[in-house]
Copies of this chain bind each other. A is one copy, B any other.
Amino acid sequence: MKQGGSDAAKRAAGEAAAETAEDGMVIGLGTGSTAAHAIRAIGRQVDAGLDVVGVPTSFQSRELARTAGIPLADLDEVTVDLAIDGADEVAGGDLVKGGGAAHAREKIVDASADRFLVVADPTKMAETLSYPVPLEVLPAARTTVAESVRELGGDPDLRRAERKDGPVVTDNGNLVLDCAFGEIADPAALAADLATLPGVVEHGLFVDVADAVYVGSEDGVTVREL
């Protein structure tokens, strides 16, 4: 998880995206520090009378949403009108996500939304994606997937945990391979290749999923529609 952006920039992006919430909406609630600003802002709107339901993308965003007082639903009860989520890197409309190992559920929620807003600070913006792509993999497949990643030109690295022995385990019980591909010239092609590898539960490339990017700064927000 790149942590370089200023909190003010993250806040500007998150709060601007939260402003688009409207009465009656079901809102997908993203994971990470920028999305957290959006969740808290939506919570304040709910306190002020906004009538929305949130669908968390992770354990973390669910906790935050409950603290913020946002009524919650599960994804099988509703359809998502608006999703607001962060990214580890943004180039054009394509994203790398998964620094927080929550990208499988994030993609399920974000891709199902009628409209998906990415919130980011300037440190996340790039000309070309080059952030290592996290792959959530079934434990039994970590070596076969790693081999296939190498054949695709990538350098896979099993993500280790800090507060348990052994690897990071996702909320779904799987492992994470962080795969450095250098500059990713054709994200759509790489995404298609990664999706078909047996044992890959979800990769962190979000291609053609976002509808707009909100980039915050100390001075305000730039919105780019896609």
Contacts of A111 in B (CB 8 A): 144, 198
Does any Cβ of B come within 8 Å of A115's Cβ?
A: no
Chain B: CB-nearest residue to A207: B196
Taking the full assembly, how many copies of this chain does it contain?
4
Interface size class of A (residues with CB under 8 A): 35 or more
Does any Cβ of B come within 8 Å of A173's Cβ?
A: yes
Q: Across the interface, do A141 and B108 meet the contact criterion of CB distance under 8 Å?
A: yes
Q: Across the interface, do A164 and B101 meet the contact criterion of CB distance under 8 Å?
A: yes
Q: Known: A102-B165, A161-B168, A166-B171. Is A201-B31 also a contact (CB below 8 A)?
A: no
Among the listed stretches A16-24, A38-46, A58-66, which one makes contact with chain B, having 4 or more residues with CB under 8 Å of it? A58-66
Of B100, B104, B147, B160, the contact of A165 (CB 8 Å cutoff) = B100
Q: Across the interface, do B199 and A104 meet the contact criterion of CB distance under 8 Å?
A: yes
Known: A102-B164, A102-B165, A198-B202. 10 other contacts (CB 8 A): A1-B165, A60-B166, A76-B143, A107-B199, A108-B140, A138-B172, A164-B168, A192-B192, A192-B196, A199-B202
Q: How far is the CA of A100 from the CA of B161 in the complex (A)?
A: 10
Does any Cβ of B come within 8 Å of A169's Cβ?
A: yes
